[in-house]
Amino acid sequence: MSSRNEPASAQASTKQVSGQPNAANIWRLLGLSAIGIFIFFVPITLEGKTSIPLDHMVGYLRGVLGPVAGYYALAMIWVGAAYPFVTGQWKTNTTEMVFSLLKVLGALTAVLALTGWGPDALQSKDMLPFLFNKLVISVGLIVPIGAVFLALLVSYGLLEFIGVFLQPVMRPIWKTPGRSAIDAVASFVGSYSIGLLITNRVYKAGQYSAREAAVIATGFSTVSATFMIIVAKTLNLMEIWNQYFWLTLAITFVVTAITVRIPPLSGMDDHARDPEPEVPSGQRVRTAWQSGLDVAHNAPGLLENVKLNFREGLLMTLSILPSIMSVGLIGLLLAKYTPVFDWVGYIFYPFTAIFGLDGAMELAKASATGLAEMFLPALLLGDADMVVRFAAGVVSVSGVLFFSASIPCILSTEIPIGVGRLVVVWFLRVALSLLLAIPAGMLIAG
């Protein structure tokens, strides 16, 4: 992922031209950002369905495309499978080689899903048809469309404005610089790849220590809001979208505040060559306002920005869809036909059983599958009790680490954290997330 272009907001922040509080800059900072907030966070009701505007757009487009949507997804998967070999990325390291081969497998299974060919075990409704029709097509549409509107959230100063205000809490709570708030929010409203790209570049510049970079990569660089919509739709949680989104955000960051204080992250090197200076006392509001204006002033024009973000969204789609088809299918087959995740699930059972929850064992086993692919807990528990569905939705996101995408992305950066540490951090995050998500779900359920 480190080969991708730096997002517009990060590019703009490297410029030194100060933004003036004129109408154009204020409109960019407040107006365009407000539109982005509306698209992602304000639920509206259309034709009896309550959801955020982005979800309505995707639903409308899928209805217009009809059967063509499947061929679109297949084309994206095949291009995505070919991309590492065309660019030479497949031979970068062993991890890239393995996942490039898995993407080829994903391309082959996508053909089976669309045509209905293959053994009954693959064509049962909870296998290839479910992966392809319920997940892949939705992701293939929502990520590029979402990327267009993400330009409004991440490119015109909103993240920088918020980041300055969060400086006083980032260091004491998460032991990271204030600027890491931008990485955290960029991941949540953009994607983990954008967040990791920013984190890696800041780390290479000496502005993050190894521990700080690892904390951000494993604790903040989770899946984006657009992917959370897919999770919520799969689990029938869109009616409580705002509760789900904000509680997941809170639980994710609470878990990160805990994991940063315990091994393996707590023992990593914490020296940065160029640490962040403190904002002068009494100047936080002025600094936040000016930081937002600076980014708004230096950002590319709206059309150029949309094109840049749309390209990022397409690249993200090409990367993820083949992996979902291959790793997701492998995970589903292991979950259905082998006891592998049952064994791992027993490790998490004490964290679910403590609440006397119906379906505690099912939730524990499904949570274990998240290491393979973050969507699997949602795929396995779509018809479960509301509390179980809510907890599965939270764990899918707050676990952060999964082998189909985020772990290979982290391994492709220069952040010095290996697979072993990543798996340990994943276990800690899932266990802590369950302890927080289940009571939160109970409160929502009443």
Q: What is the DSSP string of 255-322?
A: HHHHHTTSTTTTTS----SSPPPPPPTT-HHHHHHHHHHHHHHHSPPHHHHHHHHHHHHHHHHHHHHH
The alpha-helical segments, DSSP class H, found in 136-234 are 137-154, 158-169, 180-189, 192-204, 210-219, 225-234
Measure the CA–CA gap between 133 and 114, rounded to whole angstroms.
9
Share of the chain above pLDDT 90, in %: 48
- Can you tell me the distance from the alpha carbon of 18 to that of 296, in angstroms, rounded to the nearest whole number? 10
The span from the CA of 371 to the CA of 366, in Å, is 10
CB 135 within 8 A of CB 113: no
The predicted pLDDT at position 370 comes to: 92
Q: Which CA distances in Å does 231 have to 201, 223, 439? A: 30, 10, 20
What value does the mean pLDDT of the chain take? 87
Rg of the chain over Cα atoms, rounded to whole angstroms, equals 21
pLDDT at 397 over 50: yes
Higher-confidence position of 196 and 394: 394
d(CA 25, CA 157): 10
Q: Comparing 262 with 314, which gets the higher pLDDT?
A: 262
Please tell me the predicted confidence (pLDDT) of residue 194: 64
Mean pLDDT of 179-183: 77
| Residue 356 reports pLDDT greater than 60 | yes
Residues 190-218, mean pLDDT to the nearest whole number: 82
How many angstroms separate the CA atoms of 414 and 389, rounded? 36
The per-residue DSSP string of 153-171 comes to HHSSSHHHHHHHHHHHHII
DSSP-assigned letter for residue 2: T
Where does residue 41 rank: exposed (0-12), middle (13-18), buried (19+ CB within 10 A)?
middle
Answer yes or no: is pLDDT of 5 > 70.
no
Report which of 352, 299, 317 is spatially closest to residue 227, judged by C-alpha positions: 317
- pLDDT grade, residue 186 (50/70/90)? low
Query: Confidence band (pLDDT; 50, 70, 90) for 319?
Result: confident
Over range 414-427, report the average pLDDT: 92
Of 65, 61, 43, nearest to 52 by C-alpha is: 43
Checking if the pLDDT of 278 tops 70, the result is yes
Torsion over CA: 318, 322, 327, 328 (sign): positive
Positive/negative CA dihedral, 49, 54, 60, 66: negative
Confidence of residue 18 (pLDDT cuts 50, 70, 90): confident
Confidence of residue 7 (pLDDT cuts 50, 70, 90): very low
pLDDT digits (tens, 9 = 90+) for 60-99: 999 999 999 999 999 999 999 999 999 998 998 887 898 8
Please provide the DSSP assignment of 346-369 as one string. HHHHHHHHTTT-TTHHHHHHHHHH
Say how many C-beta atoms besides its own lie within 10 A of residue 206's C-beta. 12
Q: Which of helix, strand or coil describes residue 50?
A: strand
User: Helix crossing, 419-445 with 386-398: angle to 10°?
Assistant: 150
Identify the pLDDT of residue 175: 93
CB 163 within 8 A of CB 262: no
431 Cβ contact partners less than 8 Å away, ≥ 6 residues apart: 348, 351
- Given a contact cutoff of 8 angstroms between Cβ atoms, the answer to whether 323 and 99 are in contact is yes
- Is the CB of residue 371 less than 8 Å from the CB of residue 426? yes
**Spatial CB neighbours of 353, under 8 Å, sequence gap ≥ 6:** 360, 361, 364
Residues 100-146: tens digit of each pLDDT: 999 999 999 999 999 999 999 899 988 899 889 888 898 888 888 88
| DSSP class of 371 | T
Residue 196 is predicted with a pLDDT of: 79
Write the pLDDT tens digit of every residue in 206-253: 888 999 999 999 998 887 777 788 899 999 999 999 999 999 989 999
Rounded to an integer, what distance in angstroms lies between the CA atom of residue 50 and that of residue 45?
4
Indicate the range of 17-26, 180-189, 288-297 predicted with least confidence: 180-189
Angle between helices 386-398 and 241-259 (to 10 degrees): 50
pLDDT of residue 412: 67
Instruction: Give the pLDDT confidence score for residue 324 in this predicted structure.
Output: 85
Q: What is the mean pLDDT of residues 440-444?
A: 96
Out of 2-6, 187-191, 270-274, which region has the weakest mean confidence (pLDDT)?
Answer: 2-6
* Mean per-residue pLDDT, 166-172: 87
Structure tokens at 182: 């931008």
> pLDDT higher for 312 or 254?
254
Q: Answer yes or no: is pLDDT of 163 > 80.
A: no
Q: How far is CA 24 from CA 13, 29, 39, 298, in A?
A: 18, 9, 21, 12
In this predicted structure, what is the pLDDT of residue 180? 83
Band of the pLDDT at 2, cuts 50, 70, 90?
Answer: very low
